[in-house]
Amino acid sequence: MSPLLQTPEESTAPSRSGRKLARTTMGLERDKKRHGDVEDRRGDTLVDEIGIVTTAPAPNGVDLVQESVSLIEYVARLGDFRSTQRQECYSLVRRMKSLLPLFDEIRFLGSAIPPNAIASLSKLKKVFCLAKKLLKTCNEGSKIYLALESEAMMVKFHAVHEKLCQALDELPFDEIEVSVEVREQVELMVTQLRRGKRRKDTQDMELAVDLMAVSSKTDERNADIAIIERLAKKLDLNTVENLKKETIAISNVAKERGQTSECIEQIVEILNKFKQVFGMEVIDVFEDPVKPKLLLKPGSLMIPHEFLCPITLEVMRDPVIIASGQTFERESIQKWFDSNHRTCPKTRERLGHLSLAPNHALKNLITQWRETNNYKSPNTEGLASPQGSSIKQEEISSLVEELSSCQLKVQRRAAKDIRMLSKENAESRILFAENGAIPALVQLLTYPDSKIQEHAVTALLNLSINDTNKKLIANEQAIPTIIDVLRNGRMESRENSAAALFSLSMLDENKVTIALLDGIPALVELLEQGTVRGKKDAVTALFNLCLNQANKARAIDAGIVPPLLLLLKDKKLNMVDEALSMFLLLVTHPQGRYEIGQLSFIGTLVDIIKKGTPKNKECAASVLLELSSNNSSHILAALQFGVYEHLVDISETGTNRAQRKARGLLQVMKTSDQLP
**Helix, strand, or coil (residue 320):** strand
Give the pairing type, strands 357-358 and 319-321: antiparallel
Distance CA 609, CA 623 (A): 11
Give the pairing type, strands 295-297 and 357-358: unpaired
Under the banding of pLDDT at 50, 70 and 90, the label for residue 402 is very high
Assess whether pLDDT exceeds 60 at residue 14.
no
pLDDT tens-place string over residues 100-140 = 888 888 877 655 778 888 888 889 999 999 999 999 988 88
Rg (CA), the chain: 29
Statement: the pTM of the whole predicted model exceeds 0.85? no
Structure letter (DSSP) for residue 114: P
Name the region of 637 (left: φ>0; alpha: ψ -120 to 50; beta: rest). alpha
CA 295 from centre of chain = 25
Residues 286-297, buried b or exposed e (16+ Cβ, 10 A)?
eeebeeebbbeb
- Angle, to 10 degrees, between the axis of helix 467-475 and the axis of helix 508-516? 30
Of 157-161, 203-207, 311-315, which gets the smallest average pLDDT? 203-207
Question: What average pLDDT does this structure show over 65-73?
Answer: 87
- Which comes out higher in pLDDT, residue 296 or 587? 587
Assess whether pLDDT exceeds 70 at residue 279.
no
Give me the chain's average pLDDT, please: 78
611: exposed, middle or buried (C-beta count within 10 Å: 0-12, 13-18, 19+)?
exposed
Distance CA 177, CA 192 (A): 23
* Cβ(153)–Cβ(138) below 8 Å: yes
pLDDT tens-place string over residues 444-494 = 999 988 899 999 999 999 898 888 899 999 999 999 999 999 999 999 999
* Cβ(310)–Cβ(326) below 8 Å: yes
Task: Determine the pLDDT at residue 159.
Answer: 87
Task: Determine the pLDDT at residue 260.
Answer: 56
pLDDT tens-place string over residues 416-431 = 999 988 876 777 888 8
Task: Determine the pLDDT at residue 238.
Answer: 77
Assess whether pLDDT exceeds 90 at residue 636.
no
Residue 576: CB atoms within 10 A of its CB come to 20
Domain-wise residue ranges, the chain = 61-200, 221-278
Task: Determine the pLDDT at residue 44.
Answer: 36
